[in-house]
Amino acid sequence: MTIDAKKSYSATIKTNKGNIVAELYPKDAPQHVNNFVFLARDGFFNNLNFHRVVAGFVIQGGDPAGNGTGGPGYNIPPEIKSKHTLGALAMARRGGPAQTTPSSGSQFYITLAPQPSLDGEYTVFGQVTQGMDVVQKIAIGDLIQSVTIEEK
């Protein structure tokens, strides 16, 4: 495990539109936070694009293929606990029963409004604390320049 369960983590997603800062939830979604921290520290997200933007719904990125089909080459199991509030940071998944199918990898999304229809279906592993104005400006093709992790 990359993360220390006794510490708190935040991520700064640097985009070509500005920075997005999110508090991560290692207690609710330890495997997802560990995975995100590992990928971020490895530079996996650097220069990937936001390939999906649905107004009033979500922005989505983290796909090395850039079209919604790629990932890191492995999947992690669901950890479904938190709600999809405005600015929720969550992991996309490929399908199958939400509670049992390991199908999340590197693609993440941020909600543009509360999305209760997603509750119980996807793992929320963080919450945007700064930069929702940046989130609202993201368009398809905008870049994730880097993701840095702060550990306290």
Q: How confident is the model at residue 16 (pLDDT cuts 50, 70, 90)?
A: very high
DSSP-derived letter for residue 39 is H
| pLDDT tens digits along 61-71 | 999 999 999 99
Q: What does the alpha-carbon distance between residue 63 and residue 44 come to, in Å, rounded to a whole number?
A: 9
User: What b-and-e string marks burial along 51-82, b requiring 16 or more CB atoms within 10 Å of the CB?
Assistant: bbbeeeebbbbbbbeeeeebbbeebbebbbeb
Length of the chain: 152
Return the amino acid letter for 81: K
Q: What are phi and psi of 87, to 5 degrees?
A: 80, 15
pTM here is 0.96
Mean pLDDT, the chain, whole residue set: 96
pLDDT value of residue 102: 83
Topology at the third CATH level for domain 9-151: Cyclophilin (2.40.100)
pLDDT value of residue 101: 78
